[in-house]
Structure 1
Amino acid sequence: MHVRRRTGLFLATFAALTVALGGNASAHERPDATVAPDGRGDFTSVQAAIDAAPAGATEPWVIAVRPGEYRELVKVPATKPFLTLVGTGRHAQDVVIAYDNANGTPKPDGSGPYGTSGSASVTLDGADFTARNLTFANLFDEAAHPEITNRQAVAVLTRADRLVFDRVRFLGNQDTLYVNSSAAAVVARAYFRDCYVEGDVDFIFGRATAVFEGGQVHSLTRGSTTNNGYVTAPSTMIDNPYGFLFTRVRFTSDAPAGTVFLGRPWHPSNDPNAIGQVLIRDSWIGDHVGAVAWADFSGGWSWRDARFAEHHNRGPGALVTDDRPQLDRAAVAGFTVRAYLSGADGWSPRGPH
């Protein structure tokens, strides 16, 4: 099962893994299993490798994923913590894990549509999961399926705590990245380092505490001259001060100027205690974002009642207006990467600094 029973394959895979980790692969990150689409690994599917991983692990169990496209649904159960997926290509786009279900896609058994959560190409319920140097995508083709009107199509759904994504790409249209938790009263944390997230409507959403440090958030155009979608749709619970933090991120788009909003407050099932929190600080914002950067959510939920703010941004879309709340230096001091992620256990995915 493990690559260590094949010396030649192990050495080749470990060399590729070292490249994927920027030359920093260590003994505990040597692959425990290798996935390769050509059959030259231990498994030909990512899910098969996950199924073979030990339950209840207390240290990383590393799956090296060799270049190729893996068209499959992937689920990491809560019984399998500490899983690590590492793409061994030179670039994140060399390894693609993808599927194409949407909210309204009928299930094969005739029991109804998948729904938003069920549409996820990848579902993560195992704590302490890490992904590096690969791509997660939902390839649902809206134009090819006009009969499907509920087009939410999730690439990744997270519901576990202490998740790390390092140089990972997330591709989709509506609802690309669903950062959530196992229950409304549970806080789950995720850290995104130098990642790329792409979509159009509410494409980073949920109630988790999520930090995006570095990387790029790209809004696709929907062909409108007035509204090409919303970057975020947080549903942070009222007793959680930390929703989404974006720091040193580039916000880009191919949409016309002033036609994309930074976010709107999502209240699942009209929950009044879901008071979204987003802070965008020290980032670059393109001109696709205009003087009014936040929008109301349907059902009468005003963005002004949410916890939306900016600090020290730059770029043609980094406007300071009455409709763009700003935190001053004193206020923003309490909203750091460490503050968002440390929690009661002192979690520090960036290291001790």
Structure 2
Amino acid sequence: MTHLHSKRLPGAVPGVGRTVATVMGLVAALGLGAIGEAKAAEPAPSVAADRWTDRAHGFASLAGGTTGGAGGKVVTVTDQASLAKYAAAEEPYIIRVAGAIEVAPFGSDIVVGSDKTIIGVGDTGEIVHGELHLNPGTSNVIIRNLTIRDSYVEGDWDGKTTDFDAIQMDTVDHVWIDHNRFTHMGDGLLDIRKDSQYITVSHNQFTNHNKALGIGWTPNALTQITIDHNWFTGTKQRNPSADNCAYAHLYNNYFTDQVRDDDPVWTYGSWARGRTRMVLENSYYDGVQHPYQADETAELVERGSILRNTSGRHDERGDAFDPRDFYDYRPDPAAAVPALVTRFSGPQKRIGDSVTLHVPGDYPTVQAAVDAVPKGNASTVTIAVAPGTYRAKVHIPSNKPNIVLQGTGQDRSDTVIVYDTPAEYGGSTGSATVRIDANDVTARNLTFSNDFDEAAHELKAEQALAMKTNGDRIVFEDTAFLGNQDTLMTNSPSLTTVSRVYIRDSYIEGDVDFVYGRATTVIERSMIRALSRGSATNNGYITAASTWTGNPYGFLITDSKVVSDAPEGSFHLGRPWHPGGEPDAIAQVLIRNTELPAAIKASPWTDMSGFSWKDARFTEYRNYGPGAVVTEDRPQMSDEEARTHTVADYLQGTDGWKPYARH
């Protein structure tokens, strides 16, 4: 008889994220009503699985973990030959599948070797008419964010004449199957067979099929598997079928729209077979026949789930095991599962838009991670840099765009990239600790430093760059640039080429020309520290712009604060730099709505190399503080002009670039 059967949910857990709170609101809106009377579930553990992490959780995280192709090169494939080549290679690869790859002959295998990550680009990566196959002995594989579909042979509903699974693996270890959609295949959707170990299956959709997820086909009880946050919809059986699993942990799965054909036995939800020990918790069954069942030889513990309009077997027997003896996790409330799983299962654009390379661990140095990025890279690659001091130079060449350098510490000072080369060894290019020649590069939560010691070398004025950029659309957020002379150079490939740089919520320090170059550069909501060189009259220059005369927008410093320990009236706002005496390098600098210290001179602009500051385009607008006095030598921008010299005016260009709009 169809009925509503429910279990009480665990109490509220401190620290549950805003996503769950939002989803619980959705649950209320869905009108699920009271949960009902039943035994109380055990208190939820303390650690939640991150829906967006690129690190495996559950059993796949144990015994050394599952890292896939980490440490290898990143490649993007659009055809079967390339996919097959890299998937079967001996060396590690992160393989990005862009668009739909149709496999021929129909139902053929793509063999996946050890140490591979296969991930869909965006949410459109597909493998059509083919199977990913992991042979015995394969280890350390991640398959994410793909749709694998349509190898079904008409009339073969039971899959007896073909064996065209979406993914099949035999005697493998450390595999993470995450955020995929499996539909309409020739036999099973996912077959995990013959003593495979340390497996996690999470956030997938199993749909429009007879046999969803089968585990086992062995007399040995060896397999350890975590199955969480999956959506089984429009399937008939094997949701999953777990045969002789040593440990099968299922939580927060959603079972709905079961295919019903009046089969009294082989239409079911989850089945613990043989000697399987299964723990099933905080899941949601809606309209399912035999939602969970266990052989007499198996053990099955269920807690915290919601069963709605279910019928047939609800077996519970034995003690099974405690998953917390193996790993930490925190299940979401069962009432939240329908909204959470329907929203977050299957391919996600957020996951496929960016591959993350970890330093150290996956790659020993930042440069090694940069080197792994493919030439002509069209999608975002994030290089996540762990806290620490990295004494090495970094170069992002022009053929490697779309890179994000991301410090992962609590503060930007936790992660420092530093070197100590002066300009006498190769000029500004050779001096720079970090050089960015590519377009579309972002750096966040990092410190860049050049700690060349002038005094130790008996030098008083020597270029030593922390950062040099040549690329367009460069963003620095929550970053620090440390140095003395020429700390930060924002440049472009040629005088008449306009590159744009946006710096926000950051810190820049130096003494001589420490923000300079010809790129259109906006520094917003940042702190600029003008360091004293010990002079009572001239301690240095903040800017040295070399803007092309045809470019109306050079440097904009806005809504920021300049601080200094230099004596009063001893620091310049800037001077005009004409590299090599180039007459068409006509500096443009606007400092607006910025606090200026007493160290700033009353006449803050000065000549350089025979070029008068009065021929440059130096202005201020509505600055304040003790150094913001207005004199004859301090051109002030009019209100009318200021309306066309905003952050947007400097950065949008002809392509409408709006990095400031992300905040």
TM-score (norm 2): 0.47
Question: For residues 149-228 of structure 1, what are the structure 2 equivalents within 5 Å?
Answer: 151-228=462-539
Does the residue aligned with 2:457 lie in a helix, a strand or coil? coil
- More strand per residue: 1 or 2? 2
Q: Which runs of 5+ in 2 are unaligned?
A: 1-52, 68-349
Residue aligning to 1:125: 437
Residue aligning to 1:89: 409
Does the residue aligned with 1:101 lie in a helix, a strand or coil? coil
Structure 2 residue 346 is matched with structure 1 residue 346: no
Structure 2 CA distance for aligned equivalents of residues 170 and 139 of structure 1:
11
Give the AA of the match of 2:388: G
Structure 2 CA distance for aligned equivalents of residues 227 and 150 of structure 1:
13
Conservation of the 8 A alpha-carbon contact between 1:28 and 1:60: no
| CA offsets 1:236-291 (integer angstroms, 9 cap, x no match) | 01000000001101011111111000000000001110000000001111111021
Superposed displacement of residue 136, structure 1: 0.5
Residue aligning to 2:293: none
Superposed displacement of residue 31, structure 1: 5.6
Structure 2 CA distance for aligned equivalents of residues 350 and 205 of structure 1:
21
Residue of structure 2 aligned with 1:139, choices 451, 456, 471: 451
Does the residue aligned with 1:32 lie in a helix, a strand or coil? strand
Conservation of the 8 A alpha-carbon contact between 2:461 and 2:485: no
Residue of structure 2 aligned with 1:256, choices 563, 567, 572: 567
TM-score (norm 1): 0.88
Structure 2 residue 366 is matched with structure 1 residue 50: no
Identify if the C-alpha distance between structure 1 residues 285 and 5 changes in structure 2 by more than 3 Å, giving closer, same or farther: closer
Residue aligning to 1:69: 389
Structure 1 CA distance for aligned equivalents of residues 476 and 390 of structure 2:
19
By relative contact order (CA 8 Å, sep 6+), the higher-ranking structure is 1
Does the residue aligned with 1:211 lie in a helix, a strand or coil? strand
Superposed displacement of residue 54, structure 1: 2.0
Structure 2 residue 35 is matched with structure 1 residue 35: no
Root-mean-square deviation (CA, aligned residues, Å) is 1.9
Residue aligning to 2:542: 231
Superposed displacement of residue 6, structure 1: 5.3
Give the AA of the match of 2:636: Q
Give the AA of the match of 1:139: D
Give the AA of the match of 1:34: H
Residue aligning to 2:640: 330
Conservation of the 8 A alpha-carbon contact between 1:98 and 1:155: yes
Conservation of the 8 A alpha-carbon contact between 1:31 and 1:64: no
Conservation of the 8 A alpha-carbon contact between 1:29 and 1:62: no
Question: For residues 289-300 of structure 1, what are the structure 2 equivalents within 5 Å?
Answer: 289-298=600-609, 300=610
Conservation of the 8 A alpha-carbon contact between 1:101 and 1:114: no
Identify if the C-alpha distance between structure 1 residues 149 and 313 changes in structure 2 by more than 3 Å, giving closer, same or farther: closer
Residue aligning to 2:428: 116
Structure 1 CA distance for aligned equivalents of residues 542 and 442 of structure 2:
24
Identify if the C-alpha distance between structure 1 residues 150 and 255 changes in structure 2 by more than 3 Å, giving closer, same or farther: closer
Superposed displacement of residue 57, structure 1: 1.9
Structure 1 CA distance for aligned equivalents of residues 440 and 628 of structure 2:
35
Conservation of the 8 A alpha-carbon contact between 2:353 and 2:379: no
| CA offsets 1:5-64 (integer angstroms, 9 cap, x no match) | 7555899xxxxxxxxxxxxxx64676611102xxxx211210001001122222210010
**Paired-residue identity, %:** 50
Conservation of the 8 A alpha-carbon contact between 1:102 and 1:150: no
Does the residue aligned with 1:140 lie in a helix, a strand or coil? coil
Does the residue aligned with 1:331 lie in a helix, a strand or coil? helix
Conservation of the 8 A alpha-carbon contact between 2:386 and 2:407: yes
Give the AA of the match of 2:494: A
Identify if the C-alpha distance between structure 1 residues 235 and 269 changes in structure 2 by more than 3 Å, giving closer, same or farther: same
Structure 2 CA distance for aligned equivalents of residues 10 and 144 of structure 1:
48
Question: For residues 247-326 of structure 1, what are the structure 2 equivalents within 5 Å?
Answer: 247-298=558-609, 300-326=610-636
Greater than 3 Å deviation, 4+ residue runs: 3-11, 26-31
Superposed displacement of residue 352, structure 1: 7.4
Give the AA of the match of 2:617: R
Conservation of the 8 A alpha-carbon contact between 2:521 and 2:554: yes
| CA offsets 1:302-336 (integer angstroms, 9 cap, x no match) | 11110000000111101111111101211111101
Give the AA of the match of 1:33: L
Identify if the C-alpha distance between structure 1 residues 5 and 291 changes in structure 2 by more than 3 Å, giving closer, same or farther: closer
Give the AA of the match of 1:314: Y
Superposed displacement of residue 296, structure 1: 0.7
Q: How many residues align?
A: 323
Identify if the C-alpha distance between structure 1 residues 311 and 223 changes in structure 2 by more than 3 Å, giving closer, same or farther: same
